[in-house]
Amino acid sequence: MTRPTRVLPVLLLAPVLLTACGSEKAGADPASGTSVRTAEAAGQGELDARAQALGVAPELVHVTEAPGFTLARQSVGVLGDDGFSATWVSRETGAHLRLSVDRGSITAATCPEQPVGDMPGERTSCERDGDAWYRTGAGRHEYAVPGRGHVVRVSGELDAVPRDVLRGAALAAHRPDDAEAAALLPSAEPVPGAPVERGDLPPAGDGAPDNNVDVGG
């Protein structure tokens, strides 16, 4: 199956995951705060918990790479009900690649009906390219790669991201290994086990203000 590339929002750049040439493993950047050793130590259960804490189905989490693009870690999040979305940013031009994965399918019949870049009401043109679909509409273009019960999409602005970069990123999209997933997904917040006790409440009563005031008070 062919693989897509990334696209979309303008977010703070956080170093992490993929390098300009795509030769380093995710998590190798010391500035990311996640060492390779830490990433490799993360078990599958922990990684699944991280995805679920975002509301994302673990099996829909994907990563990709493109020359000159770096993951904007703040962009990682849920798409729709339990899909996945993340954005990579060009350090040189500021262009965005958005990678999104959601449940569903795409065929010759349904491709024109599905908007590019979540822009409803816009006309979509579709062109078959191997196992993928090259799609344009609303000033954006996208590669959509159907999978088993889901579609991987990589999109960007027509005038900012060349088609060959988009295609390469789409073909490079894949399920992350443990190190990549640990660098990609934020740590799951601990769930409180019991209510926090406050020390500023009286030992008796409900802690409401005392309204028993004198006349005129």
CA distance 65 to 63: 7
Above pLDDT 90, what percent of the chain? 58
What's the chain's average pLDDT? 78
pLDDT of amino acid 172: 97
Domain range list for the chain: 30-184
Q: Does domain 30-184 have CATH number 3.30.70.3290?
A: no
pTM assigned to the model: 0.68
Note the pLDDT tens digit of each residue in 100-125: 999 999 999 999 999 897 666 678 99
CA distance 188 to 194: 18
Helix (H) or strand (E) holding 141, with range, is strand 140-146
With cut-offs at 50, 70 and 90, classify the pLDDT of residue 43. Answer: confident
pLDDT of amino acid 190: 54
Q: With 50 as the cut, is the pLDDT of residue 84 above it?
A: yes
CA distance 18 to 6: 12
Beta bridge partners of 38: none
Contact 28, 37 (CB under 8 A): no
